[in-house]
Structure 1
Amino acid sequence: MLTTLKGANAVLMFFLELGVLASVAYWGFTVSPNWAIKLLAGLGGPALFIAVWALFGAGGGANATIPLTGIARAVLEIVWFGGGAFFLYAAGRAAPAAVFALVFVVNAVLRILWKQV
């Protein structure tokens, strides 16, 4: 049973990662009425987040170019997932931003308790 829950928590983290990208893209496409700015922010924002995650956080650090551990990894995750919540909030979606942040906190606490980090 615990193994199944740990697996579900890992899958949840993957969907949270995708949610960060969707949040940044959503913000980007709503940030301005100008289509050039929408395209730049809506595509460039997620691209920047993808680059940072690939460099430092991919696969729990195992697949990262420069894997981070300990406090540095915790800061990366807080900035990454907090960024997802922040950009939802910046796009005028306060309730989904709060839910996103809460789900991340629950996921992170479970990963720490279950030694999935």
Structure 2
Amino acid sequence: MLTIVDLIWFAAEMAVYAAVVYWGWTRSTWPRRIATIVGGLAVFAGIWGAFCAPQATYPLHGTAKIALQAVWFLGGAVVAVTAARR
């Protein structure tokens, strides 16, 4: 059963993906935009899906999962700030 916490986590995850897309969109030329958007989403989704998702291939637990989630969300914040500065 989904809880409000699950919905908050999902919304935060989607916000990171939106930040990556926005960051990619701020690149200079169309080929760079497409490559950055696709590549950025692949990296972020791959890391999340492999280690942090509920059905993760290599699920982490405890401190390792918290540390990876912190770095992942910090990465999302960095790309959002970088995109906003262009």
TM-score by length of 1: 0.67
Q: What is the deviation of 1:42? A: 1.2
Q: What is the deviation of 1:91? A: 0.6
What amino acid is the match of 2:5? N
Structure 1 SS opposite 2:57: coil
Structure 2 SS opposite 1:91: helix
Give 5+ residue unaligned stretches, structure 1. Answer: 1-5, 94-117
Aligned residue pairs, count: 84
Q: Deviations over 1:21-66 (max 9, x none)?
A: 1111110111x2111111000121011111111110111xxx1100
- Equivalents in 2 of 1:53, 1:14: separation in Å? 12
RMSD: 1.5
Give 5+ residue unaligned stretches, structure 2. Answer: none
What amino acid is the match of 2:40? G
Q: Does the alignment pair 1:66 with 2:54? A: no
Residue pairs, 1:32-111, within 5 angstroms? 32-59=27-54, 63-92=55-84
Q: What is the deviation of 1:92? A: 1.3
Q: Which runs of 4+ in 1 moved over 2 A?
A: none
Structure 1 SS opposite 2:59: coil
User: Which structure carries more relative contact order (alpha carbon 8 Å, separation 6+)?
Assistant: 2
Structure 1 SS opposite 2:14: helix
What amino acid is the match of 1:91? A
